[in-house]
A = this chain, B = another copy of it.
Amino acid sequence: MAEVSGPLQLSEVQAAVEVAAGRAAGTVLLTNVQVVNVITGEVEPGPVLLAGRLIAGVGPDYAQAKARQVLDLNGGLVVPGFVDGHVHLESALVEPREYARAVVPRGVTTVVWDPHEWANVVGTTAFEVAREATASLPLNVYLTASSCVSASPLETAGARLDPEDLEQAMGHGHVVGLGELMNYPGVVAGDPREIEKAWRADRLGKPVDGHAPLLTGRDLQAYVAAGIGSDHECLQVEEAREKLRLGMMIFIREGSAVRNLADLLPLVTPAVKDRFCLVTDDKHPHDLVREGGVDFAVRKAVQLGLDLPTAVRMATLNTCQFFGLRRRGAVVPGYWADLAVLAPDTLECQVVFRAGRLVARDGQLLVDTFVPTDARLLNTVRLPDVPLERLQMADPGGAARVIGVVPGQIVTRSLTMAPTVKDGCVVADPDRDLAKLVVMERHGRRGGIGVGLVQGLGLKRGAIASTVAHDAHNVIVAGVNDADILAAAQAVARTGGGFAAVADGKLVAGLALPVAGLMSQHTLPEVVEGLDRLEEAVKVLGVTMPAPFMTLSFLALSVIPALKLTDQGLVDPTTGRLVGLLAD
């Protein structure tokens, strides 16, 4: 049967009926397998018989079935292809084609991608481009419409998505919901435009994904009352239990920076096993290579003591039910033949079928994933001419607010320090590990430049810059002198975005991320190597913390405590207000 892409055809269903009834040979027969039934929680005997893109039959009724291809799988466990219910592919720093290369051989056949970072750069174009960039991949890529672009009014992103824009995006079949409604303070406070986003999604019959860290009591109920159906921000069992009781699907996140699985797993009991989904949210390049995607969470859940069928169910059936992904998430007749076969001892993935086609074996992808980069994602870094004087900070005349770095975390501390002043201007002071921090709007919209101080990066010389700067993804630079700061900003702008380290006006090292200023066009292993090289190189500037560019990228995230810097200036996220350099 020829590969068919696109919607299920009547002829395919007819073929599946013929094969299931035993009147026609199947396309593939998986023999010597056990089948994980996520519906009943049982492990059943095989085989599994496919008819084109669909599963036709399961179990001993098909022991003698004929098929064009017969695969003996050595006692392997057939599971539904894994589904990641909430992921920002952008965190991988590679294009979707490379993400697919990384996770499909591990058994991930479906992701629900909230292209929130792309949308902050290119607006609704992100949903179009994401569709086109993934349609030919051996991975089902569904989208959620990114609900909070921009994340706050205190930063200038490349676009603003209004409820009407989101409704339009959700009108497309592959956009299966509204993405994490992060502005929970807005919803709880009754902001009509935020509530409208959820209402419009519901009107279209699409679920609303939530994001409400530590919200509790009546405020949480108000958030849920707005029609928000899930949450992936639970840190502890008590928090998750409260949300569970109120009807939220609990997305258990096991990503790179945030790993909640071990803490939340005690809540997953037989009584409520249908109410959890495993998600990654963000997986960084090293972890993606080392661990994989949501498949890692499944294995970890089993290692932590959860029974296999339930662990698999949380990354398959439950997620498909929440997002209304029809004919997906179980190994039963008539469902899409998206399957992984796992080694029964290690649970390592041996073979992967996507829509009935063998797409990976022994960790290797067997199909081409090349998709050219969409031109609309290139040349997005439009840095204005910045005279050096724009980076100056006048002496506030008292103690200054300083962003205190917490390595590996997205929160910061809000410090108060006496600034070092030279010629009437505040300057960096490497002896106190005080650097200057600059955020330059780079979307060609307003050209705002915010300047502040940051403590704890370890910077002794030069400057480091990034166009990955959550969530607006402006250019963020930390440096000890203005010339190097400007040079570093220009260095990342020259490559269409990326990371760069500069000392004495010269580029020390860099990693080009020309795709929306967020992703490389290279392979994942190349990006991992490039990051390693870059991290090694910045040591000569004094920066020795792990993943310094990731730490840098969160210093602009204006919705997370305690003190951040955007292109509009210093932001106190707890009050949602701009603040001056002079501490109160």
Chain A residues at the B interface, C-beta cutoff of 8 Å: 7-8, 10, 13-14, 16-23, 37, 39-42, 44, 51, 54-58, 61-62, 187-190, 192, 195-196, 198-199, 202-203, 205, 217-219, 221-228, 244-247, 270-272, 274-275, 321, 324, 326-327, 330, 332-335
| A18 in complex: contacting residue of B55, B190, B247, CB < 8 Å | B190
Q: Which 6 A-B pairs have the closest CB atoms?
A: A247-B332, A21-B222, A225-B333, A20-B222, A225-B334, A16-B225
| A21 in complex: contacting residue of B188, B202, B275, CB < 8 Å | B188
Do B61 and A221 have beta carbons less than 8 Å apart? yes
Q: Which residues of B contact A22 (CB under 8 A)?
A: 218
Between-chain CB contacts (< 8 Å), 22 pairs: A8-B203, A10-B196, A13-B198, A13-B226, A16-B226, A17-B226, A21-B188, A21-B219, A21-B222, A39-B244, A39-B275, A40-B244, A40-B272, A42-B245, A55-B225, A202-B327, A224-B332, A224-B334, A225-B334, A226-B334, A247-B335, A324-B324
Q: Which single residue of chain B is at the shortest CB-CB distance from A273? A: B271
A226 to chain B: closest CB distance in Å? 5
Do A272 and B218 have beta carbons less than 8 Å apart? no
A399 to chain B: closest CB distance in Å? 37
Q: Which residues of B contact A41 (CB under 8 A)?
A: 271-272
Do A246 and B333 have beta carbons less than 8 Å apart? yes
Do A199 and B327 have beta carbons less than 8 Å apart? no
Complex Cα gap A62–B225 (Å): 14
| A221 in complex: contacting residue of B37, B56, B217, CB < 8 Å | B56
Q: A57-B221, A247-B330 are in contact. Are A17 and B270 (CB under 8 A)?
A: no
Do B192 and A10 have beta carbons less than 8 Å apart? yes
Q: Which residues of B contact A198 (CB under 8 A)?
A: 13
Complex Cα gap A219–B56 (Å): 11
Give the copy number. Answer: 2
Q: Which residues of B contact A246 (CB under 8 A)?
A: 58, 332-333
Counting chain B CB atoms within 10 Å of each CB, the highest count among A42, A218, A226 belongs to A218
A489 to chain B: closest CB distance in Å? 42
A38 to chain B: closest CB distance in Å? 9
Q: Which residues of B contact A222 (CB under 8 A)?
A: 17-18, 20-21, 333
| A20 in complex: contacting residue of B17, B57, B221, CB < 8 Å | B221
Do B227 and A39 have beta carbons less than 8 Å apart? no
Complex Cα gap A21–B225 (Å): 9
Do B225 and A54 have beta carbons less than 8 Å apart? yes
Complex Cα gap A330–B225 (Å): 13
Complex Cα gap A37–B229 (Å): 16
Complex Cα gap A278–B294 (Å): 35
| A195 in complex: contacting residue of B10, B62, B274, CB < 8 Å | B10
Q: Which single residue of chain B is at the shortest CB-CB distance from A272? A: B40
| A321 in complex: contacting residue of B44, B227, B270, B321, CB < 8 Å | B321
Counting chain B CB atoms within 10 Å of each CB, the highest count among A8, A247, A271 belongs to A247
A325 to chain B: closest CB distance in Å? 11
Q: Which single residue of chain B is at the shortest CB-CB distance from A334? A: B225
